[in-house]
A and B are shown apart, each in its own frame.
Chain A
Amino acid sequence: MRLFSIEAISSILGERSIDIAKDRPVFAPAIDKTGIAVVHETDGTAADLAVRAVTDVARQKSGIVDTLDAMIVVTQSSEMLLPSMAFEIQDRCRIHKGVMALDVNQGCSGFVQALQLAVSSLDWAESVLIVCADRYRAKLRPSDRSTNSVFSDAATATLISRRPSLQIVASAHHSDGSGRPLLFQSHKSDINEGRLHMAGSDVWLFTKRVVFNQIERLVNSCDLTLADIDAVYLHQASELVLKGLRAQIGDRTSVPSELKDVGNTVSSSIPILIENRINQLTEQISVLCGFGVGLSASSLLIRPSRLN
C-alpha cells in the first residue's frame, strides 16, 4: 500500500518568453503541429530555476527546509559532472544537512519515476521533495525547427508527504537502451557538436508502439478499463504526440494539456500539468505517464486513498 499526499507544487519557466510566430517566424508553420505557440528560455542555469521553485515551495510550507527528509533532483542539465545538482540546491536553499539529496539523470519519464521512488521512501521519510530542472534550449541547434519550436527551460518542485490522500495502485515501466541513439546529447563536442539529437519520427513511433499499450495494460492489471479512468496526465511532448495518444485513449477519459503557452518542459511537464489540478487528482482515478529519453516510459495508476 503506497499512500501519500502532494502537499505543494511550484513551477518556474525560463524568464524569456519566445513567441514563435512573432520572434521566430521561420518556425511559425510548426505551431499547428506542435500545439506550442510560446517557449521559454533562461540565461541562467537549470539550478537557478530549481532554486526559485524550491524557494517558492518553502514559502508555501514554512519549516520544510528544516525537516525535509529527502530531495530527488531529476535533471539532465547539470553544469557540473560532480557533485550532483542536488547539493547545489541543498546549499543555496539552506536545506538542513540531515536531508538525503541525490540526482536522477532522466528526461521526460523522470517525474513519474521519481514519484514512485519518493512514495517508496515514505516507509522511512515523512516528506520528500522532487525537483525537476532542465535547460534543454542550451542544447539545441539554433536552426533545428523540430526542437526549437518545442522545448522550454523550466523547473518544478513537488512536495510529497506521508499524509494519506492518494495511493499508487500500480506502476509500469519500460526501459529500452537500444533506443539511446534516437535521443541523446554527448559531453564530447565531436559527437553531434555536443548538441541534442532527436530522431523525432522514431521517437514518435516509439510512443505509438509502447506508451498506449503500457497505459492500457496498467489499467487492465487493476481490473479496470480505460473508461474507468477519469484522467490521463501525459508528458507534454507535442500536440502531434498527444493527438495520437488521445485518439487511442478515447473520449471518455480526460487528457489535459498545457502545451500552448508552456512548451515541452521535459521532466517538469507533468508537475506543471497537475499543479492547478491537485484537488481533481484527489477526487479521481488517474494515470500519470512520462516517456522519452532512454528510450523509456513510466506510468502510475493513482487513486484517492479513501477509495480503499
Chain B
Amino acid sequence: MKISITDICSLVARALEVDSSIITAETKASEVELWDSLGQISILSEIDKMFDGVTERCPALASANSVREIFDALYDAV
C-alpha cells in the first residue's frame, strides 16, 4: 500500500480533530496544542484503523513527534 505525506496530514488532523489546514508535512507535535500524549494515542488509534493494526509492528510510532516522523515510520511498515 502506497502512502503519501498528504494522507498522514489528513490522518493527524482527523485524529486531533483540528482543521486540516493546520497540519502540514512540516508540522511537529510541539506546535499543536492538542498533539499531547492523549493526542498521540488518538493518532495511533487512527493509524491502526487505517492500516490494520500496524502500530503493533511499528513501536517507533509511539514516539514519532512530527508528521514527517510518522510518515517515515509508516512508509516501510505498510
Chain A: residues with CB nearer than 8 A to chain B?
Answer: 29-30, 33-34, 144-147, 149, 198-202, 204-205, 208-209, 240, 243-244
Contacts and interface: CB of A to CB of B under 8 A. Distances in A.
A29 B41 contact: no
For B38, B53, B63, which residue has the most chain A Cβ atoms within 10 angstroms?
B38
11 contacts: A29-B34, A33-B38, A33-B41, A33-B42, A144-B37, A146-B37, A200-B40, A201-B37, A204-B44, A204-B62, A205-B62
Contacts of A209: 56
B6 to A, nearest CB: 23
B36 A146 contact: yes
Nearest to A204: B41
Nearest to A147: B37
Interface string B33-60: 0101110111011001000010110010
Contact of B41 (A144, A147, A149, A200): A200
B17 interface: yes
B45 A149 contact: no
B37 A240 contact: no
Given A29-B34, A145-B38, A208-B56, A201 B17 contact: no
B45 A200 contact: no
Which of B41, B53, B62: most chain A CB closer than 10 A? B41
Contact of A208 (B34, B36, B37, B55): B55
B63 A240 contact: no
> Secondary structure at chain A's binding surface: helix, strand, loop or mixed?
helix
A202 B55 contact: no
Contact of B40 (A147, A201, A244): A201
Contacts of A33: 38, 41-42
Contacts of B45: 204, 240, 243-244
Contact of A30 (B38, B44, B56, B61): B38
Contact of B62 (A29, A34, A147, A199): A199
B38 A146 contact: yes
Interface residues of B, number: 18
Contacts of B63: 201-202
Nearest to A30: B38
A149 B44 contact: no
Which 4 A-B pairs give the minimum distances between C-beta atoms?
A: A200-B37, A146-B37, A146-B38, A201-B40
B51 to A, nearest CB: 14
Interface string B2-41: 0000000000000001000000000000000010111011
Given A29-B17, A199-B62, A205 B38 contact: no
Nearest to B34: A29
Contacts of B34: 29
A181 to B, nearest CB: 12
Nearest to A200: B37
A173 to B, nearest CB: 21
Given A205-B59, A240-B38, A240-B45, 9 more contacts: A33-B41, A147-B37, A198-B37, A200-B38, A201-B41, A201-B44, A204-B41, A208-B56, A209-B56
A6 to B, nearest CB: 33
B62 A202 contact: yes
B22 to A, nearest CB: 14
B37 A205 contact: no
